[in-house]
Amino acid sequence: MNIPVVENVLKINDQLAALNRRRLGQASICAINLIGAPGCGKTALLEATLRLLSADFRCAVLAGDLATQRDADRLAKYCPRVVQINTGKGCHLEAGHVAQALEQLNLADIDLLFIENVGNLICPVGFDVGQNYKVGIFSTTEGDDKPAKHPYIVMEADLLLLNKIDLLEHVPFDRELFEHDIRRLKPDSRLLALSARTLAGIEPWIEQVRQWKNAAPGKQ
């Protein structure tokens, strides 16, 4: 009876995610779940984002990885509220991980919570962690076929990013095909192209995060 067990795991996760969402909502925190493959630049994007937003918002980050504290160490340079979640063999964050990590933070001191999921384009998509928005990140170095091969992130994400556009001229990447596959899967999909390293194209992303935060309900 494998299928009922799997369904049950997801059901418990969804219940925990709903609790996280309520807790975050009560604290007026806007939570953004970043999902992308290893090496797509999730941490680099967060470094840039924290640098650009931390004057205006009190940010916090939960960094999910199987092992090491390296991402948290990188991000701590730009943000005083970083929690590293090591999942061991777990290939995605679950709502329970996020609930535990939130215990390490004073939610009253936070406006924006970034959740860097474990590098993986597959199961993080299916596990609600209580975020308000899901962002899918692709990069030019991964190849143009990733949206077609990983349709669920395209369909589930509130926003898609194409990172590393500074490398476009150095890698084989058919941007038209990439965008065509995205539109085929989800015609109203929103895509922003940027480079977290050079900051080219970063402003629309920053503006989107501001809008999401400002759309969240006021302190309760």
The binding site for Mg ion (CB under 5 A) comprises 42-43, 71
Is 83 strand, coil or helix?
A: strand
> Considering CB distances under 5 to 8 angstroms, the limit depending on partner class, which of Mg ion, Zn ion, none binds residue 43?
Mg ion
Residue among 123, 148, 185, 216 that touches Zn ion (CB under 5 A): 123
The CB-of-62 to Mg ion minimum distance in angstroms stands at: 12
CB of 64 to Mg ion, least distance (A): 8
* Residue pair 159/124 in contact by the 8 Å Cβ criterion: no
- Residue nearer to Zn ion on the CB measure, 123 or 199: 123
Residue 21 near Zn ion by CB under 5 A: no
Nearest residue (CB) to Mg ion, 27 versus 83 = 83
Q: How far is the CB of 123 from Zn ion (least distance, A)?
A: 3
Taking the complex as a whole, the smallest distance from the CB of residue 32 to Zn ion amounts, in Å, to 19
CA 84 to each of CA 70, 172, 182: distance values in angstroms, whole numbers, following the listed order: 9, 34, 32
DSSP annotation of 196 reads T
10 lies in the binding site for Zn ion (CB under 5 A): no
**What residues does 142 pair with on adjacent strands?**
none
- SS3 string, 135-175, reads EEEEEHHHCCCHHHHCHHHHHHCCEEEEECHHHHHHCCCCH
- Neighbouring-strand partners of residue 134: 33
66 near Zn ion (CB under 5 A): no
Chain positions contacting Zn ion, by CB under 5 A = 91-92, 123
